[in-house]
Structure 1
Amino acid sequence: MPDPNPAAMEFLLTRRSRPAKTLQAPVPRKAELLPILSAAARSPDHGKLEPWRFIVLQGGAMDRLAGLARLRGAELGYDVEKIEKGAAQFVTGELAVAVIEVQKPSEKVPAIEQTYAVGGVCLALLNAALASGWGANWLSGWPSHDRSFVQAGLGLGAQERVAGIIHIGTEKAVPPERPRPDLDAITDWTDT
């Protein structure tokens, strides 16, 4: 007979990301962030490759990245609205954790499985922050996928890419519930 954890299940059934623009100071201090990162790092990892790493962004790093997003957006010829949308997550944020996918050579573990594992780390980090009482949101946006931006702004190597930027802080407004998937429409049951 299974040994259920009703509190954990209730959390999972009611969890809700908080819009990044509603997060403010205070943010977790290093001692408060380390258990959240530890929980995220316990994600399933086929082959024990750890195809991820974390970059904690705070203070001046957020301002620097906002400026770089504006500069890079102008270089790419983006319109002002797109540029500002790319910079906004760094302008309004106080702390974020960039989850970086680091593909590892493996004959046993295909690259796509490593990518899935890193996605699991992003979700685990988001949920660990929420379970710790913080507001949190998983974002990316065009800067996260622009090679020049991630190399200059985050120091990423050629085999690295941003899987997600998890913003963490104190929520200033509770978001309304949103519609959830219709399980009947997305689930097939088969016994043959």
Structure 2
Amino acid sequence: MPFNSPNPETYDLLMNRRSVKARDMVGPGPGEGEIKKILDAALRVPDHGKLSPWRYLVLEGSERDKLGDLIARALVEENESSPKVAEKMKGYATQGPVLVVAISSTNAESSIPVWEQELSAGAACQNMIIAATALGYASCWLTGWASYSPTVKGGLGLAPHENIAGFIFFGNQADEPSERPRPEFDSHVTWGFPS
């Protein structure tokens, strides 16, 4: 297929895509071949300077439990949370059948501003959830406390210059998701140069 071919169905997908709460997802999740397709889409984002300022960690099955244990330990160590609260948070990582940890891996030595590199990581996350929808899967892009935790970042092997751009869950939807309020077009769009 030629590059930039018109595809009205893609516009329809964008206008009808809806996140599914990770806790409401059911299996099966995408298999290895489908995850590769989703990640291939993540690798095709705008990337000023061709820096590839991102990487991905795919967690399935018991690998998600390891992340849950890490999050629980971090809560106790960093937030002095009670073991009971920490135990409950172990389930965060196992909400959906497949979890991709999207990692922003910026290069401060580059002439490309770090902010632009971070934007590329965000675009990669968006491409993943769009690709998942196109392949018939539910998705949910989450961050939250764990994405900023030094203990979690260290336990996942992140370097000092890396950050978690998102925990992206993939699975199937048990029920049709409901629409959420959307912003008013005219409140967020200005035509013409500001006076």
Q: Is the TM value for this pair above 0.5?
A: yes
TM alignment of 1:1-192, pairs within 5 A: 4-75=6-77, 76-78=79-81, 83=86, 86-152=89-155, 154-190=156-192
Number of residue pairs matched? Answer: 190
Asked if structure 2 preserves the Cα contact closer than 8 Å seen for 1:22 and 1:171, the reply is yes
Q: 1:62 to 1:41 in 2, by over 3 A?
A: same
Consecutive unaligned residues in structure 1, runs of 5 or more: none
C-alpha distance in structure 1 between counterparts of 2:130 and 2:88, whole Å: 25
Measure, in 2, the Cα distance between the counterparts of 1:7 and 1:119.
Answer: 23
Tell me the distance in 1 between the aligned counterparts of 2:82 and 2:183: 34
Using the TM superposition, give the Cα deviation of residue 3 of structure 1 relative to its aligned residue in structure 2, in angstroms.
6.2
8 Å contact 1:86–1:142 — kept in the other structure?
no
Using the TM superposition, name which of 70-79 and 123-132 deviates more. Answer: 70-79
Helix, strand or coil: the match of 1:56? strand
Structure-2 separation of matches of 1:181 and 1:70: 36
Partner Cα separation in structure 1 for residue 92 and residue 7 of structure 2: 35
Deviation string 1:93-123 (CA, Å, 9 cap, x unpaired) is 3211111111124443101100111011011
C-alpha RMSD over aligned residues = 2.0
Q: Deviations over 1:120-173 (max 9, x none)?
A: 101111111111100000011211110111211x11111111001110011112
Q: CA deviation at 1:179?
A: 1.0
Q: Which amino acid aligns with 1:99?
A: A
Distance 1:79 1:133, change over 3 A: same
Runs of at least 5 residues in structure 2 that lack an aligned partner in the other structure: none
